[in-house]
Amino acid sequence: MIQRKPAMKYFKYGCLVLIACAISVSANAQKTITIREALDQALRNNLQVKQAVFQSSLSEEDVLQAKMDLYPSVSGTVQGSKNWGLSFDQTSGQLINTSITSAGASLSGNMVLFGGFQKVNQIKANKYQLLSSQSNVDKVKNDLVLQVVTKYLEALSNKDMATAAKQQVALSTEQLEAQKYNYEVGNKTLADLSQAKSQLATDELNLVTAQNAYDLSILDLKQLMEMNPVNDIALEKPPLPDVAKLVSSYVAEDIYQEAVQQYPDIKVAEYNTLVALKNIDIAKGGFYPQLSIGAGYGTNYSSQAVKDFVTREPISFGRQLDQNKNTNVFAQLSIPIFDNYRRNITLRKAKISYESAVNDERLAKNNLNKVVNQAVLDLRTAEKKYYSTQENFKSASDAFEVLKQRYDVGLANAVELSTQQTAKNKAEFDFIQARYDFIFRSKVIDFYLGRPITFNN
């Protein structure tokens, strides 16, 4: 046994070193995320934002394509062939029953001079669609910012509640130890000891619930940032504003009138209405005649082409290309007469789409008006709840201290103390939630006013 003591001592030291290393590695692996970093990473990595950016890029290409459609279209053709047997040689103008090697090339161009202004209106429609897509990018980013801020503050709130729950567990543990001692010396009954154990179990359950809520909010935040869920992160608590300085006396109509001028959801709806209006002009253009002009150039070669039919001397390849060249120009007027009522139906559908877009715009504005009014009401409610829970927590804390003093001198029983402690715990949790909710509701108003969300006073 004497020989094993040094080995056992070294083993303990080794375990302590390994534990210290593990704690150090874990601390180094954990990354602290500020709210600004969370927002930047979410805006940079979020897949919905990327999808909106891709759609905006496609709209840019549509604008370029519509502009390029104003230019003439030019195409060239080069061909070669080898025929056997009886065939008519277009170049030599003969019916020949032998092998023929032939080649040809052509170049042609076409341009629409007038087409009912469809191409011009298509450019305008695509430009409006591009503005709509760009506004949609802003919309997706705005929604993401609000979601990140919500989850970040929710996580901080849950963390504070978990901290408060840990403190309550520590307090209940101390009370249980005191009850055990008093029970052993006969100062307390078994009921007092059981009540202390029950209070500790309740507080431990509250701690587990708060910690689980914190873990879930962190997971939601990671998903918004497109971060691997296995990454260990901690949140840096920003300098939260002084609640007493928060403004709550907003007028909903004033906020709406300011928000409707720049809110991305409204911009998307307005540009979609302009797109639909231009689509009506495009459909009307289909009823006009279309005037187009074009030109072409071509030449060809045949192995059976000869200078005369007596000597059968073949004409050289280069000379044939020069002799057989041909040029043409044309003008074409296409007059729509009857197309199975397609143009009429297209126009009617365009008009219906426009009415639908106008209705969507009205719905977007009505929805914004509704959420702004709701945000103002929520802010006022959150303010009242904050001051109410603050007073309730102070009263519950004072009541608990008084009752604890009475309990220590035997003037109150364990059930009364446990009940008051539970009430104090609930009041503290309610106060923590109300404080963060009040801060968040004030930031929602800033969001609708187009202000950057910050947490400085």
Tens digit of each residue's pLDDT (9 = 90 or more) over 52-105? 999 999 999 999 999 999 999 999 999 888 877 666 666 666 666 677 788 888
Stronger pLDDT, 43 or 196, i.e. the higher one: 43
In this predicted model, what pLDDT tens digit does every residue of 206-234 receive, in sequence order?
899 999 999 999 999 999 999 999 999 99
> Which pLDDT value is given to residue 368?
94
> Which pLDDT value is given to residue 180?
87
pLDDT band at 408 (very low <50, low <70, confident <90, very high): confident
Average pLDDT, whole number, for the chain? 85
Last residue of a domain, one of 279, 306, 335: 335
Last residue of a domain, one of 320, 335, 350: 335
Q: Which of 10-19, 193-202, 213-222 has the lowest mean pLDDT?
A: 10-19
> Domain check: are 226 and 308 in the same one?
no
Please count the structural domains in the chain: 2
pLDDT exceeds cutoff 80 at 21: no
pLDDT exceeds cutoff 60 at 20: no
> Domain check: are 320 and 410 in the same one?
no
> Domain check: are 275 and 379 in the same one?
yes
The domain that holds 55 is classified in CATH as 1.20.1600.10
In this predicted model, what pLDDT tens digit does every residue of 125-182 receive, in sequence order?
999 999 999 999 999 999 999 899 889 989 988 998 898 889 888 888 888 888 788 7
For residue 111, the cross-strand partners are 293
> Which pLDDT value is given to residue 221?
94
> Which pLDDT value is given to residue 27?
43
Q: Residues of the chain with pLDDT > 90: what percent?
A: 47
| 323 found inside a domain | yes
Angle at 233 between CA 229 and CA 235, to 5 degrees: 130
Last residue of a domain, one of 335, 356, 391: 335
Cβ within 8 Å of residue 339, ≥6 positions away: none
> Which pLDDT value is given to residue 82?
81
Tell me which residue range forms the domain holding 106: 79-114+293-335
> Domain check: are 103 and 142 in the same one?
no
> Domain check: are 356 and 409 in the same one?
yes
> Which pLDDT value is given to residue 203?
87
| 5 found inside a domain | no
Buried b (16+ CB within 10 A) or exposed e, 337-360: eeeeeebeebbeebeebbeebeeb
Cα distances from 167 to residues 407, 415, 451, in angstroms, run 20, 20, 38
> Domain check: are 352 and 280 in the same one?
yes
> Domain check: are 330 and 348 in the same one?
no
pLDDT exceeds cutoff 70 at 310: no
| 50 found inside a domain | yes
| 7 found inside a domain | no
The whole-angstrom separation of Cα 298 and Cα 103 is 11
> Domain check: are 185 and 226 in the same one?
yes
| 324 found inside a domain | yes
> Domain check: are 371 and 312 in the same one?
no
> Domain check: are 308 and 161 in the same one?
no
| 408 found inside a domain | yes
> Which pLDDT value is given to residue 95?
67
Please compute the mean of the pLDDT values over residues 317-345 and round it to a whole number. 88
Q: Which of 198-202, 264-268, 312-316 has the lowest mean pLDDT?
A: 312-316
Please compute the mean of the pLDDT values over residues 369-396 and round it to a whole number. 92
Sign of CA dihedral 246, 250, 256, 257: negative
The whole-angstrom separation of Cα 240 and Cα 247 is 14
| 23 found inside a domain | no
> Domain check: are 222 and 142 in the same one?
yes
What distance separates the 2 farthest-apart alpha carbons in the chain?
142
Supply the Cα-derived Rg of the chain in whole angstroms: 41
> Which pLDDT value is given to residue 58?
96
> Which pLDDT value is given to residue 100?
77
pLDDT exceeds cutoff 70 at 266: yes
> Which pLDDT value is given to residue 9?
44
- DSSP characters for 277-334? HHHHHHHHHTTS-EEEEEEEEEEEEETT-BS-TTT-PBPPHHHHHHHT-EEEEEEEEE
| 218 found inside a domain | yes
> Which pLDDT value is given to residue 418?
78
Half-sphere exposure of 126 toward its Cβ, with a 13 Å CA cutoff?
A: 19
pLDDT band at 187 (very low <50, low <70, confident <90, very high): confident
Q: Would you give the DSSP letter of residue 411?
A: S
> Which pLDDT value is given to residue 118?
92
> Domain check: are 174 and 134 in the same one?
yes
Determine contact, residues 79/128, Cβ cutoff 8 Å.
Answer: no
